[in-house]
Structure 1
Amino acid sequence: MCGRLFAPRTKRQKYCSKECSKKAATARVLQAYHDSHPRPKRVCPVCGREFVNGGHHYEKYCSPECRAIGRRRKMAARLEPDAPPVVTKPRWKPKPEVEKICPVCGKTFVTTYSNKKYCSKECRDREMSRRLNEKQKRARRERHE
């Protein structure tokens, strides 16, 4: 949880302290909740882009730019009900999708993030665990030399 190196006191010890153990348990419960309650996909009324709600269930627009455009349209409609709609384009441009290969499992995945390396959290965690084990082995070897 915290990223600190520690020497386990028992074979089953996974965390350095009770605080980290509690944080991990909380994270597992939250993850289980989010897995069983997926966020609904919505369509932005301004640009037509499909998006998943962030932290709030009531989000209507995909971005702050679209929200500003939506507000301007709403205000214009209130001031002049018979006026034509305000036509403005959002500054948002979709990110290009990049196909990558996960270095852990070898699976091909598509992402819009240029710096993403792993296909899933599990693969990322597996790689971080492997690196930590190598670091601990090197430290042990140096101590014995």
Structure 2
Amino acid sequence: MDDKIKMMIDELGVRVQYWPKLDANGHYIARINTVVIDDRISPHAKIMTLLHELGHASKHQNNYALYNLAFSLHSKMENEAEEFMIEKMIELRVVDPEFNPATFNTVNFLESNEIDLKYEPVVKEFMTSYCIGNSLEHIFF
């Protein structure tokens, strides 16, 4: 597991457990601040699931009772967790010494990680802010 992910886990005080069989890839249990991940999924899927569930821990730990209150709240929280996961996946990618922003393709990133294409604007926004922050705006503009 990446050191940045371990640091996030420590900062959030989340316990992570791997179970042999779940009804989904993972769950966040707010009342005990624990992420449970299905141990049968691939290592890459485990990282993506962990980041998604850490998104719930980061953004929803104190108001998780709302999750099942209404479909709109459930959908909003899932979307926020997914965007958190996407942002963290990109952060892990851009710190890779072999990463070349000039060859980054938003759709390819989404498809290779099996993420819904509706998140294309989220990826573009994050990459744009990353490139501007690192004086690379000429790559996208």
Check whether TM > 0.5.
no
Higher helix content, 1 or 2 = 2
TM-score of the superposed pair, with normalisation by structure 1:
0.26
User: Greater relative contact order (Cα 8 A, min sep 6): structure 1 or 2?
Assistant: 2
